[in-house]
Amino acid sequence: MKETSPDQNGVTHPLSVARYGALMGAGAAVPGLIIGATYGTLQTQTPVLFSLVSGAQWFALGTTFFSIRSSILSSTGLLNWWNITRGAPLHPLPPPPSESDRIRASIISGAATGFTLGFLFRGPRNVIPGTIMFSLFGWGGQHAYEWLDARNSGRVREKQAVKEQGGENETFLQKVGKSRWSPMRTLTDQEYEDMMREKLLKVDVEIALIRDKIEALKKEKEAEEQKKAADALGKPKEW
């Protein structure tokens, strides 16, 4: 989950945060529309209206969550923007947020989103359940993102290390081909050339055998013709 970045002066404009939240909210609205359309078609008489309402709710959830989260992670940049409007000195930017900082921001954003929208959409009784549920969603989603990001970064580093050592990066099919359980086997260029050379040699041998058979048949035919000619010469004429 990426967040907005401050400019070169260390200032983050609130509109950047709002724009980022709206963009992420629009992305969240797409599955909301799909789920709403599916459920509305199966369970209601007004699937279009149900789909639009579902998409709007998902848009509100995504926009609220990511706007709050981006504000937390960009708090120093937002504070610097506020200081500029008042003529106050700017604060130095802190180091990039750590994994624990991002997880904490996601939990707080989830709790605030669940509290606010739970109250607006579902009423006061759903404030506490919504707060707990969306806090868990924020915690689990951020952990999943960090795990996938670490995994992808590890693969990139491995490929870079192999490239620096002069090796070749193996594709998925090459890895499958090298598995002992695979019915196929991956061949190197040299192995492929040797295999094709062996097949060509077998073809040459078969061609030579066919030629020998043709020569033998020709000789048999010539021998039969000579025998017939000799028999015709040695047979007495009838008057």
Span 46-97, pLDDT tens digits: 889 999 999 999 999 999 999 999 999 998 889 888 988 888 888 888 888 8
Identify the band that residue 181 occupies on the pLDDT scale cut at 50, 70 and 90. low
Summarised one tens digit per residue, pLDDT across range 101-131 is: 999 999 999 999 999 998 988 888 889 999 9
Distances (CA, A) of 120 to 46, 71, 116: 23, 22, 6
- 227 vs 224: CA distance, rounded Å: 5
C-alpha to C-alpha distance for 199 and 192, rounded to whole angstroms = 11
Nearest by Cα to 99 from 52, 146, 131:
146
Contact 127, 115 (CB under 8 A): yes
Q: Where are the beta strands (DSSP E) in the chain?
A: none
**Nearest CA-CA partner of 91 in 9, 15, 18:** 9
Q: Where are the alpha helices (DSSP H) in 74-98?
A: 75-86
How far apart, in whole angstroms, are the C-alpha atoms of residue 190 and residue 183?
21
